[in-house]
Amino acid sequence: MATERPTAGDADAVHTVTLQIGESGEPIRIALPTGTIAPEGVLPALQTIADEVVRRGIAAARDRGRPISCTAGCAACCRHLAVISDVEARALAGLVDRMPEPRRSLLRARFASAAQRMAAAGLAAPALAIAALSAAQLRALADGYFRQHIDCPFLEDERCSIYDERPLVCRRMLVTSPAEFCADPHDSRVRALRLPKLAAATLLLTSDEDPPQPAAVPLPLALDWVQANAATVPPRGADQWMLRFVQRLADTEA
Ligand code: SF4
């Protein structure tokens, strides 16, 4: 990771960082804010990295003769249980808080409905403990959730209503297999696009533990989770957050 500092007196309070993600390809240049920031402040940079990584992944798949089969209006993956980082949960809760009425109330009602349905199906408790589940328990949770046919609260007319703000895990939901295979969450014929594990690294971003522990939040429970979990992570320099991210990504890939 290389940093280019702004010149003295630069009114744009940003600087440029160059990152090498993966072993090949051009380094990715991103702008980071100067000064100390909450972890949510580094999310736009992580989203930029994810979008560039995905763009390259799509191009490489196309060059191999395996184009992406996902199309606008196909939202099968938006009825799987998406797991996001604590940082993204706080960012999404803030996004909903800033929405004008009546949209804010509509979104909150959708989240409440999803949470209620998960609780009624006995899925909320295991979902909140997802980082500690065994592979068999994870599979049971994923199956149980998919069977409930719970729409993501942000899904509207089979499209993501917060497309530019969507979590990193949503950005990598791309397949090269026929779209109809996605109707079964365990269909072995589904061929997901292989990409660096950026979303997994973000789950570890705020952990000071050694080894880092994932802070994994089920997306439909994000508003409740944020309300129940006050932010305790101290602000850090944007460079420090980015360095952590790169280290967590390297650990995750290893
Ligand atoms: S945030 Fe958007 S892309 Fe992600 S699951 Fe929800 S509707 Fe789908």
Token pair for 126 = 């295991």
Q: How many Å apart are CA 3 and CA 238, to the nearest integer?
A: 11
pLDDT at site 184: 82
Query: Over the chain, what is the mean pLDDT?
Result: 91
Least confident of 32-36, 44-48, 52-56, 143-147: 32-36
Instruction: Identify the band that residue 23 occupies on the pLDDT scale cut at 50, 70 and 90.
Output: confident
Closest atom of ligand 1 to 153 CA is: 6
> Which is nearest to 189 in space by CA: 198, 200, 178, 201?
178
Q: Where are the beta strands (DSSP E) in 79-218?
A: 83-85, 155-156, 159-160, 216-218
Token pair for 249 = 């990504």
What is the Cα Rg of the chain in Å?
19
Q: How far are the Cα atoms of 40, 66, 87, 103 from residue 161, in angstroms, in the given order?
A: 20, 28, 20, 11
Residue 154 CA to ligand 1 centre (angstroms): 6
Domain boundaries, the chain: 2-253
Q: How many Å apart are CA 198 and CA 216, to the nearest integer?
A: 14
Number of H helices, E strands in the chain: 9, 9
Phi, psi of 96 (to 5 degrees): -65, -40
Judging by DSSP bridges, how do beta strands 14-19 and 28-33 pair with one another? Answer: antiparallel
Residue 241 CA to ligand 1 centre (angstroms): 25
Q: How many Å apart are CA 137 and CA 8, to the nearest integer?
A: 54
Ligand 1 within 6 A of 145 CB? no
| Tens-digit pLDDT profile for residues 68-107 | 999 888 888 999 999 999 999 999 999 999 999 999 999 9
pLDDT at site 9: 45
| Tens-digit pLDDT profile for residues 183-234 | 887 788 999 999 999 999 999 999 999 999 999 999 999 999 999 999 889 9
Residue 194 CA to ligand 1 centre (angstroms): 19
Long-range contacts of 134-141 (CB under 8 A, 24+ apart): 139/186, 141/81
pLDDT at site 20: 84
Q: How many Å apart are CA 222 and CA 84, to the nearest integer?
A: 8
| Tens-digit pLDDT profile for residues 126-139 | 999 999 999 999 99
Ligand 1 within 6 A of 31 CB? no
Element holding 126 (H helix, E strand): helix 124-128
Q: How many Å apart are CA 140 and CA 245, to the nearest integer?
A: 30
pLDDT at site 15: 85
Instruction: Identify the band that residue 10 occupies on the pLDDT scale cut at 50, 70 and 90.
Output: low
User: Looking at the predicted structure, is the pLDDT value of residue 13 above 80?
Assistant: no
User: Looking at the predicted structure, is the pLDDT value of residue 11 above 80?
Assistant: no
Least confident of 3-7, 148-152, 199-203, 223-227: 3-7
